[in-house]
């Protein structure tokens, strides 16, 4: 059992949020579920060396967490007065969940995501709350995803939890007819989880595989429930991105840009599945944001090299994306495509316009992209300054190493 701490850590990484989601369903209380989750893992560290690792660690942890919840309620003041009310509430929640579980959502994580995306909760709160409490992302990671500061994001999350408590929003499975009203928020959650796994906002590693895998798993479950165009689009987009995983890093963990990747390492099975989903999505007659983004990824997948890529077609797709979802990040990505199609000066003009409007000032990737185009134009001093600003803003170690190497190269050039 010498490797037990590592085993418990692995179980925590892979299953803790699903255990937490089930405890939320059973207890109806975020804070209590969080508390007993950690109690259950502490108990595992003590009991598994003596009793052995259970055949089903997740079931053991859920059961242990429930027992700890009972103990906590017994210790709380005014238990005698509160117990009938608490028990009645738990029974009501249990009955509501059980009556729908076999029929609709079997997965507790997905069930809780739909619950947190309740229409009574403000849209700008739904997604951050779910990312923090259901998916286990830190407040800092969520703030980075929304390009805002952590204190503002923390306040939103607290307000969301307070809304659930004060409004008495039940922790029950939505009926199938209610799901479309929550679908946009649910898909936003899934995609932001995927993004954090595909390109972590901070830390020592670019890729957090367990998050991207979980996002794909959840999207597959949603597709089983609702074969909607946007669900096909988001699953296709994630599969096409994920197909490049093996080519995105060197053996030392350094970043390899898309244009420099060994495309023979791309997973052709995932690419084929992603393209089939695009065809299914387009056959619905409605093409949304995720499907357009997936089509962009498919265009890259179809090309044998960066030079052979149909950049004109990709620019057209970005034009459509910018029309449906106007944002400075989409503009930035479109500028990169235009730089490949029309030359670096054309792309740089767009990026400079975004910066001059005061948008994305703390987004390190806009300064990194600007540095790349300046470097291609031979403006090495300006390129170095852009890379230095990007390095100052970047929080992820592989990106910081990549930018630092760019600066070193430019120092030797000048």
Q: How many CB atoms lie within 10 A of CB 50?
A: 7
Average pLDDT, the chain: 87
Contacts 24+ apart (CB under 8 A), 381-385: 381/414, 383/410, 384/410, 384/411, 384/414
- pLDDT value, residue 103: 38
Residue 156 included in any domain: no
Question: In 380-413, which positions are buried (b, 16+ CB within 10 angstroms) versus exposed (e)?
Answer: eebbbbbbbbbbebbebbbbbbbbeebbeebeee
The answer to the question of residue 326 being in a domain is no
Q: DSSP states of 4-71 as a string?
A: HHHHHHHHHHHHHHHHHHHHHHHH--HHHHHHHHHHHHHHHHHHHHHH---SSHHHHHHHHHHHHHHH
Domain that holds residue 63: 4-103
Tell whether 211 is covered by a domain: no
Number of structural domains (the chain) is 1
Check if the beta carbon of residue 262 is closer than 8 Å to that of residue 248. no
Residue 249 β-bridge partners: 255
- Is 359 a domain residue? no
Q: How confident is the model at residue 91 (pLDDT cuts 50, 70, 90)?
A: low
* Nearest C-alpha neighbor of 362 from the set 389, 386, 335: 389
Q: What local confidence, expressed as pLDDT, does residue 90 receive?
A: 52
Quick check: is 45 in a domain?
Answer: yes
Token readout for 191 is 């995609």
Domain of 12: which CATH number?
1.10.1740
Q: Residue 361: how many CB atoms within 10 A of its CB?
A: 13
pLDDT tens across 234-251, in order? 999 999 999 999 999 999
pTM, to two decimals: 0.82
| Residue 221 near residue 190 (C-beta atoms within 8 A) | no
Task: Please check whether residue 79 lies inside any domain of the structure.
Answer: yes
User: For residues 355 and 368, is the Cβ–Cβ distance under 8 A?
Assistant: no
In a domain, 343, yes or no: no
Residue 353's alpha-carbon distances to 77, 97, 358, 382, in angstroms, are 60, 52, 9, 16
- Partners of 396 in the beta sheet? 203
pLDDT over 90 percentage in the chain: 50
* Residue 21 resides in a domain: yes
Give which of 104, 44, 31 is closest to 72, Cα–Cα. Answer: 31
Tens digit of pLDDT for each residue in 31-75?
888 899 999 999 998 998 888 888 888 889 988 998 888 888 777
**Nearest by Cα to 196 from 260, 146, 162:** 146
Indicate whether 95 pLDDT > 60: no
Spacing of C-alpha 333 from chain mean position:
19
CA triplet 37, 195, 366: central angle to 5 degrees?
A: 135
pLDDT for 161 equals: 84
């Amino acid at each position: 059992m010498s490797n037990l701490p590592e085993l418990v850590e692995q179980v925590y990484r892979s299953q803790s949020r699903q255990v937490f989601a089930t405890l939320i369903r059973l207890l109806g209380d975020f804070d209590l579920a969080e508390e007993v989750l950690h109690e259950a893992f502490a108990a595992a560290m003590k009991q598994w060396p003596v009793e052995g690792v259970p055949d089903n660690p997740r079931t053991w942890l859920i059961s242990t967490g429930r027992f700890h919840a009972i103990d906590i309620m017994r210790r709380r003041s005014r238990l005698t007065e509160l117990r009938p009310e608490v028990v009645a509430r738990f029974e009501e929640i249990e009955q509501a969940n059980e009556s729908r579980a076999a029929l609709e959502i079997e997965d507790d994580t997905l069930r809780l995501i739909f619950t947190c995306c309740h229409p009574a909760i403000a849209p700008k709160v739904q997604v951050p709350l779910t990312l923090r409490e259901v998916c286990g992302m830190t407040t800092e990671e969520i703030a980075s995803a929304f390009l805002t500061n952590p204190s503002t994001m923390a306040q939103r999350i607290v307000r969301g939890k307070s809304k659930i408590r004060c409004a008495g929003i039940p922790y029950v499975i939505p009926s199938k007819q209610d799901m479309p009203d929550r679908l946009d928020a649910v898909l936003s959650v899934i995609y932001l989880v995927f993004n954090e796994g595909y390109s972590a906002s901070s830390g020592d590693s670019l890729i957090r595989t367990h998050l991207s895998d979980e996002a794909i798993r959840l999207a597959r479950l949603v597709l089983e429930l609702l074969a909607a165009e946007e669900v096909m689009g988001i699953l296709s987009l994630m599969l096409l991105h994920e197909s490049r995983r093996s080519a995105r890093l060197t053996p030392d963990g350094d970043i390899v840009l898309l244009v420099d990747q060994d495309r023979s390492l791309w997973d052709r099975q995932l690419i084929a599945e992603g393209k089939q989903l695009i065809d299914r999505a387009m056959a619905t007659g409605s093409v949304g944001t995720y499907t357009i983004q997936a089509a962009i990824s498919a265009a890259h997948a179809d090309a044998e090299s960066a030079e052979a890529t149909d950049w004109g077609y990709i620019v057209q797709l970005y034009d459509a994306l910018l029309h449906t979802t106007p944002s400075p990040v989409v503009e930035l990505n479109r500028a990169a495509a235009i730089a490949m199609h029309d030359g670096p000066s054309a792309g740089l003009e767009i990026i400079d316009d975004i910066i001059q409007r005061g948008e994305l000032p703390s987004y390190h990737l806009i300064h990194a992209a600007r540095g790349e185009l300046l470097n291609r134009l031979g403006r090495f001093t300006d390129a170095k300054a852009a890379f230095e600003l990007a390095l100052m803003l970047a929080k992820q170690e592989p990106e910081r190493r990549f930018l630092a190497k760019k600066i070193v190269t430019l120092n030797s050039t000048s």
